Structure 1
Amino acid sequence: MNRLIIASIFIFVFGLIFTRTYSQESILEKKISLQTSNETTEAILYQIEKTFNVSFSYNSDILQGVFPVPIKVNSKPLGKVLTSILGKDFYFKSTGKYIIILRKLSKNDIPKNQQSCTVTGNINDIRTGLPIPLATIYDMGSMQSVLSDSSGNFSLTLEPKTRYLGLRCSKTEYCDSVIIYKPSEKRSVAFSLKMTEVPVKRISSRQPVKITHTDTITFRMIKTFVSDEMLINSRNVWIPDRRPAQLSLLPNIGTNLRMNGSIVNHFSINLLGGYSAGVSGFEAGGIVNINKYDVNGIQLCCLVNLSEKDVNGFQASGLLNRTGNNVNGIQISCMGNIGADTVRGVQMAGLINVCKKSLRGLQFSFGVNISRGAETGTQLAGMINYAPRPHFQFGLINIADTSDGAPMGLINIIKHGYYSFSIAADELQNTYLLFNMGTPKLYSIIGISGRATDHYESWGINYGLGTHFKSTRRLGLNIEMLSSIINSTGRFDSTTMSRVSLSARLSLRMGKYIYLSAGPSYNALIAGAASSINNKYIEAVLPKNREHFAPRNTRFDFWPGWYGSLNFKF
């Protein structure tokens, strides 16, 4: 047990070092070609800005004593090119198209009694001058952050690793602001933020206004694992660049600190749980993976995956996958996949699959499948399928409003489907009471039957499938396969017989809701050969032109017959 704890701590610390050391962002990976001769450092940086649409932020003091040598590079990452120009003493941090240039501190630059510094300041609205509470201030290098208080003040303690710090301030509905701060100055920092201008859309008086609501279940689940500060940071800050890796013990304890909800990672490991802006690659977790935006790639968790936006790829969990928007790919869960709007792919669950809108693919569950959209593909369930308009359903109970396809189940409940009650007879049972439900393409048949003549009484339980072809307004064709369990002794024992019948009948419309149908059938009967009761019943009831086989203790009888019915459609 102690070894396991030590190993977990080692992995966590190693991941912390790895991520901090090798984390580069996408703009620094942008490949460029550049040739310089004897230009100054500022001139080279200006040339890169104009040519490759980037913007540098730095204090000119850090470039003193830097004399770049002429270089010629072809298709190399921008980060490596900058290192070639400025040297290994510089540290680069990017956000979007902006690159902050910082110079690293050596151990001799920091007094022994000053290993950390505290940055204080305030944040206000540039137009009104009022303080801005709950704004996020963070160091772009270390990702250490703090929120402003109700008066707009903040205090952030850091361990500087560069001569200047890149401090970024972000707040929902405001434009971001970045300040280059020198720790040795110990001055107060003031951020003045400008509100973003959002154009007001004109709404037509005839156009209904869509009112959105928060998914309270997902929100409560997220609140259980994620601190309020992380949730506020994730709303305030969006870092568009991807990070190669992150490691978390819990959502609040990880290599991205309390800024994890603003960062999309390529490779993410959450030992117990983690919270991030999204995944673009691979993510694995022990208890819970929470993503504010999209999951692009593979996401695995022993218990729960929560994604507030899309899932594009493969998602698997031991308990639950809950998705806020669309699923494009495959979802697998031992318990349930719920919450998705549109599914383009496959949902597989042990208990339940839920799709709020369109299902353009397959739902498979041992329990229940639910699709509420106007378009539904294929549903396979051990118990219940529900969809307003499915193409195909297979389950114990199928429920739909209308169906363009063929539902296969013991009970098919189609609101605008095909329903009829039949009184039928054939040479084996002279009375059938059957209920048909489904669609004309495929309907299920359930009912009872009996024989009360010739002193050979019997009764049966029947289930089957049928299809109806409409030829003209009055004529049609019904093809049905009916399976029956027949008992001639009043109890289920070794004398119970099984019969399968396939019939094709012409259907004649006699009235608005009444149809008369009749036609040939072909039948098979399976019974115990050692039962004298069965043998006596079969010899007396079945036609003489049957084919008979009796290998060992089971007898098989095959014969052509007839089938007629009076149907009441409703």
Structure 2
Amino acid sequence: MQILPANAQDYMTRNITVGNIGQVTIGQLLKKITARSDFNFAYNNKAITADSVVLISGYRGTLYDFLAGLFGPDYEFKEVPGYVILRHAPNKLILTAELDSDDPGELIVKGHVSDALFKTNIPQVSIVEKDLLIAQLTDQQGNFSFKISNPNISLLLTASKENYRDTSIYLLQDVPVVGLKLKKRRYKYDPDESKKRAKLEQGFSRFFITSRQKIQALNLGGLFAYSPYQVSLTPGLSSHGIYNSQVINHLSINLIGGYTAGIQGVELGGVFNIDRNNVSFFQAAGVFNIVGGNMKGIQMAGIYNQVLNNTSGVQIAGIYNQTNNLSSGMQLSMIGNVADTSRGLQLTGLINYSKVAGSQLSGVINIAKNVHGFQFGPVNIADSSDYPIGLINFVKNGPKSLALSYDDANFIHLDFRSGGRILYGLLGAGLNTAGGTYKYALELGLGAHMISDHRFSVDGELVTRLTTDLGKNSYQTYSLKFLPAYHLSHHFSLFAAPAFGFTSGSDNPKINRFGWVIHQETENNSFNIYSVDLAFGLLYRW
């Protein structure tokens, strides 16, 4: 299969040669056509089923004639930068328009749209002048009108509506001004626009998008223009009118809130910003930001940030951040962060959640399925996580154990250990079997699996123990422990626990001096003890 070169973007007039392929699916055929070309086909799979089988016996001629013969008269083929759009458009429009002027400095454009076959008025048709970034919807009688401030230019109006072919007409001035030329706008096409728009209009942002804007987006699809700037009071009151949702701006100022196609620069919103497509490089709003495509750069909001696709950069919110994929960077919030997949850092005061997480740091709880970095917080929950750092770690695929031990201070301990393949947390309680004033102990710690063999293992732990009488008297012990263990079976192990300890508290004569004391000092009714201690016990692992 071969496509002969032609002028840039004149895709439909290019000559192609298709061999005797025989039976082939439409999807495979279209991929073969574009395999060595500089464009792709874009189409809705509901209108054109890619799995449908067609019989190709050979062809030589223009791409337009080939597509017309393949799909028939009910389909339209549109050229946009990088794409040929295949649309099911069985109906045709009749577009009429005229120019009028009551003011020498102003031009009024009036027109009407009707069905070509039935001659009925067609409401909610998008009328667009793409170079001026002007767009209107026809009323219930099919009429439209708008004003332009430069009366000395010619206009190209295009009427667009779902299931209808696009129809365009030129409006020429009676006395053209020599040398006046309208600057052509730069456009881009997004073949995934319909999917992004569906997600955007089903979520929280639907409460801020008007029905006229939804109809406009449906009619015009994924063709977006570029503009240096725009200013909005609300999504419906913008310097680009209702065409604002089809325009990508370099600077966007939304006094209350705005609804634009995307940003390549800076967007500021007094209350909110909503973007259909991608945003880069800085976006800030007093309450919330919602991006239908990708976010690259910094996104800040007083309450809430949401990116429906990929985020690479930083999300900062007073309450909550959400993105589909955090490919790099971090999420920072007071209450919570959510990402389906993350390769960055989630940092919050309350809760982090991700199906596939990079690293998570929370003041209360971290939740993930698979963690590739670390989890740091009081409670960590995951299916697999090698480096959970917390008091309680529920790792589904990680080891968990319960140990009963006795130490040289006459305490019997019950300790629960849980975590990942490398790190784990410890939570334990103890009771002094010899009696005395200080009967109770509470232990918290962080451990690491250092050596793991079939019959023998060694773990290392940093442990803090509070020994108390449950009243006003207590003392603190900080220990570095090593736990060599011999495995009796898959579940049971015998272990010893030598430790280097540092104990401090008030100089109470009822305190037991235990272990091998390396150094002891007393000053101002307080004491410090450096010692070597020992414990041993039985551990059950599952």
**TM-score normalised by length of structure 1:** 0.69
**2:369 matches 1:388:** yes
**2:541 matches 1:563:** no
**2:479 matches 1:501:** yes
Separation (CA, whole Å) in 1 of partners of 2:212 and 2:228: 24
Which deviations, in whole Å up to 9, do the C-alpha atoms of 1:262-281 show, x marking residues without a partner?
A: 00001111111111000011
Separation (CA, whole Å) in 1 of partners of 2:312 and 2:287: 21
Q: In structure 2, what residue type is equivalent to 1:156?
A: S
**2:516 matches 1:549:** no
1:10 aligned residue:
none
2:19 aligned residue:
none
Q: Select the structure that is richer in helix.
A: 1
For the Cα contact (< 8 Å) 2:124–2:137, is it kept in 1? yes
Q: CA deviation at 1:305?
A: 0.5
Q: In structure 2, what residue type is equivalent to 1:536?
A: K
**287, 291, 300: which is aligned to 1:307?**
291
Which deviations, in whole Å up to 9, do the C-alpha atoms of 1:38-66 show, x marking residues without a partner?
A: xxxxxxxxxxxx988799xxxxxxxxxxx
Which deviations, in whole Å up to 9, do the C-alpha atoms of 1:198-228 show, x marking residues without a partner?
A: xxxxxxxxxxxxx999548x63532322221
Q: In structure 1, what residue type is equivalent to 2:492?
A: I
Q: CA deviation at 1:515?
A: 0.4
1:449 aligned residue:
430
Q: CA deviation at 1:514?
A: 0.4
Mapping of residues 79-118 of structure 1, within 5 Å: 110=101, 117-118=108-109
Separation (CA, whole Å) in 2 of partners of 1:454 and 1:297: 66
Q: CA deviation at 1:142?
A: 4.9
**2:144 matches 1:155:** yes
**2:470 matches 1:491:** yes
Q: Percent of aligned positions with the same letter in both sequences?
A: 25
Q: In structure 1, what residue type is equivalent to 2:499?
A: S
* More deviation, 294-303/236-245: 236-245
2:245 aligned residue:
261
Separation (CA, whole Å) in 2 of partners of 1:341 and 1:455: 57
Separation (CA, whole Å) in 2 of partners of 1:516 and 1:317: 54
Separation (CA, whole Å) in 2 of partners of 1:131 and 1:565: 88
**319, 341, 354: which is aligned to 1:371?**
354
Q: CA deviation at 1:247?
A: 1.0
Going from structure 1 to structure 2, the CA distance change for 1:150 and 1:550 (only over 3 Å counts) comes to same
Q: CA deviation at 1:510?
A: 1.0
Q: In structure 1, what residue type is equivalent to 2:457?
A: G
For the Cα contact (< 8 Å) 1:125–1:132, is it kept in 2? no
Gaps of 5+ in 2: 1-5, 12-79, 83-99, 176-194
Q: How many residues align?
A: 431
Going from structure 1 to structure 2, the CA distance change for 1:551 and 1:457 (only over 3 Å counts) comes to closer
**253, 264, 271: which is aligned to 2:255?**
271
**357, 366, 381: which is aligned to 1:399?**
381
For the Cα contact (< 8 Å) 1:424–1:433, is it kept in 2? yes
For the Cα contact (< 8 Å) 1:234–1:277, is it kept in 2? no
**2:443 matches 1:478:** no
Q: In structure 1, what residue type is equivalent to 2:475?
A: M
1:512 aligned residue:
490
Going from structure 1 to structure 2, the CA distance change for 1:114 and 1:546 (only over 3 Å counts) comes to closer
Q: In structure 1, what residue type is equivalent to 2:301?
A: S
For the Cα contact (< 8 Å) 2:460–2:481, is it kept in 1? yes
Gaps of 5+ in 1: 1-49, 56-94, 98-108, 186-210
Separation (CA, whole Å) in 2 of partners of 1:364 and 1:455: 45
Q: CA deviation at 1:566?
A: 0.7
2:408 aligned residue:
427
**TM-score normalised by length of structure 2:** 0.73
2:110 aligned residue:
119
Q: Select the structure that is richer in strand.
A: 2
Mapping of residues 335-354 of structure 1, within 5 Å: 335-354=319-338
Which deviations, in whole Å up to 9, do the C-alpha atoms of 1:116-161 show, x marking residues without a partner?
A: 53522224478x988765320133465443324567x232243462
Separation (CA, whole Å) in 1 of partners of 2:509 and 2:332: 48
Separation (CA, whole Å) in 2 of partners of 1:212 and 1:183: 40
Q: Secondary structure at the match of 2:510?
A: helix
1:230 aligned residue:
213
Q: CA deviation at 1:430?
A: 2.6
For the Cα contact (< 8 Å) 1:292–1:309, is it kept in 2? yes
For the Cα contact (< 8 Å) 1:144–1:158, is it kept in 2? no
After superposition, the CA RMSD in angstroms is 3.1
